[in-house]
Structure 1
Amino acid sequence: MEKYILEQDIPVVYVAAREVPEGIGAAILEMEACLKADAGNRIFYGVSGCRNGEMFYWAAANEARPGEAEQLGCRRFTIPAGRYLAKTVRNFREDIQQIKRTFEELLDQPGLQTGGLCVEIYINDDDVRCLVQIDDAVGRQS
Structure 2
Amino acid sequence: MKNYFLENDLQMMYIDAASFPNGVEAAHKKLHALVAFDDKRRYFGYSRPENGIITYKAGAEELNTGEGKILGLNTLLIKKGKFASKLVINFMADVSAIGSTFQELLKHPDLDPNGYCLEIYQNTNDVICLARLKD
TM-score (norm: length of structure 2): 0.95
1:4 has 2:4 as partner: yes
Q: By how many angstroms is 1:54 displaced? A: 2.5
Q: Is the partner of 1:39 in helix, strand or coil?
A: coil
Structure 1 unaligned regions, length at least 5:
137-142
Q: By how many angstroms is 1:34 displaced? A: 1.2
Q: Is the 8 A contact 1:6 1:83 kept in 2?
A: yes
Q: Is the 8 A contact 1:49 1:116 kept in 2?
A: yes
CA offset digits 1:103-130 (Å, max 9, x no partner):
0010022110002110000011211000
Aligned to 2:37: 39
Aligned to 1:57: 56
Distance 1:28 1:124 in 2: 14
Q: By how many angstroms is 1:72 displaced? A: 0.8
Q: Where has structure 1 moved over 6 Å in runs of 4 or more?
A: none
Q: Is the partner of 2:21 in helix, strand or coil?
A: coil
Distance 1:105 1:24 in 2: 20
Aligned to 1:105: 104
Aligned to 1:130: 129
Distance 2:37 2:16 in 1: 18
Aligned to 1:140: none
Distance 2:77 2:26 in 1: 22
Distance 1:64 1:111 in 2: 32
Structure with the higher helix share, 1 or 2: 1
* 2:15 maps to amino acid: V
* 1:15 maps to amino acid: I
Provide the identity percentage.
38
CA offset digits 1:34-63 (Å, max 9, x no partner):
11xx21322110000012332110000110
CA offset digits 1:40-93 (Å, max 9, x no partner):
322110000012332110000110211111111111111110010000001111
Distance 2:108 2:42 in 1: 27
Aligned pairs, number: 134
Distance 2:108 2:69 in 1: 38
* 2:131 maps to amino acid: V
* 2:102 maps to amino acid: F
